[in-house]
Amino acid sequence: MKKYLEINPEIKAALEEGRPIVALESTIISHGMPYPKNVETAKNVEEIIRKEGAIPATIAIIKGRLKVGCNEEDIDYLGREGIKISKASRRDIPYLLSKNLSGATTVAATALIADMAGIRIFATGGIGGVHRGAEESFDISTDLEELAKSKVAVVCAGAKAILDLGKTLEVLETKGVEVIGYQTSILPAFYSRESDFSVNHRLDTPEEIAALIKAKLELGLDGGVLITNPIPKDYSLNRENIDQAIEDALKEMNELRITGNKTTPYLLAKIKDITRGSSLEANIALVYNNALLAAKISKALKSI
């Protein structure tokens, strides 16, 4: 594993000294938004984590190496190349490494690599899950499988709103992944603070969440914890409007016969157009919010 895993010296020192660290994905940089907004957002996320007293560790595959702690040059490279960079999930890692290629890591790949490095807290925007119509397409994100394997707690704003939230929760339950609501009993729906579904447990402080994570780690149980953090109120989109935008985007996607790993980038871009950019601003706000909470949880976990 050491042959492929490259841990930034700052991250390596933080691991050895027991300092708080927050892992970050890189798909949001290359596939989540346009340049230079993507690079600006990535740097802001890292700064939020640093100001809270934790160390950010942006994870990506750069020229055949699993990089834990990308530098500014790496982040700018991922942002400039954008969708030219492969979207890398668990299955893609061996191929990219064997060919000395680069990849922007999804939630699944980031959680896997963070676990390899010994990082236990990971902040993202929203996780993948069961896609609408999965009873016919069988389109279910690897994120759910990885959450059941890697010992990493993931802070998110819920599953992406384009998904079937009910079925996503059912799969998480089957996999034994606990879903926590931070200061809420309702599963947040990414762009909006509400949905028709409930989380397993509500916890109101980072310290309570850290205590749960520690208990799971000490028990030696496989898999992580999913911490859902509602989007800030000022950026929460009207639920009916966003649902209609998603339905319109899904209809057009099906007409164009877009499938596989191209569906999520297409839908997010289409929803951005339909909402005249408000979904992008909401996406950025929730990522910042999740990074802040993740840093607080990481600090609390180290202080127990």
Q: List the helix and strand counts (H, then E) for the chain.
A: 13, 11
8-state DSSP, 7: E
HSE, CB side, 13 Å, CA atoms: give it for residue 41: 31
How far apart CA 102 and CA 79 sit, in angstroms, is: 12
In 3D, which of 102, 2, 113 has the Cα closest to residue 57? Answer: 113
- Are the beta carbons of 24 and 56 closer than 8 angstroms? yes
- Contacts with 99 (C-beta within 8 Å, 6 or more apart), sequence order: 64
Taking CA atoms, 112 is separated from 89, 174, 194, in Å, by 9, 20, 29
Q: Which of 151, 160, 296, 299 is catalytic?
A: 160
How far apart CA 37 and CA 272 sit, in angstroms, is: 14
| Catalytic residue list contains 175 | no
- Are the beta carbons of 11 and 43 closer than 8 angstroms? no
How far apart CA 145 and CA 171 sit, in angstroms, is: 9
- How deeply is 91 buried, as exposed, middle or buried, from its count of CB atoms within 10 A (0-12, 13-18, 19+)? exposed
In 3D, which of 123, 1, 10, 109 has the Cα closest to residue 69? Answer: 10
Four-residue CA torsion sign, 284, 168, 296, 299 = negative
| Catalytic residue list contains 160 | yes
Q: Which of 25, 46, 146, 178 is catalytic?
A: 25
By annotation, the residues acting in catalysis are 25, 160
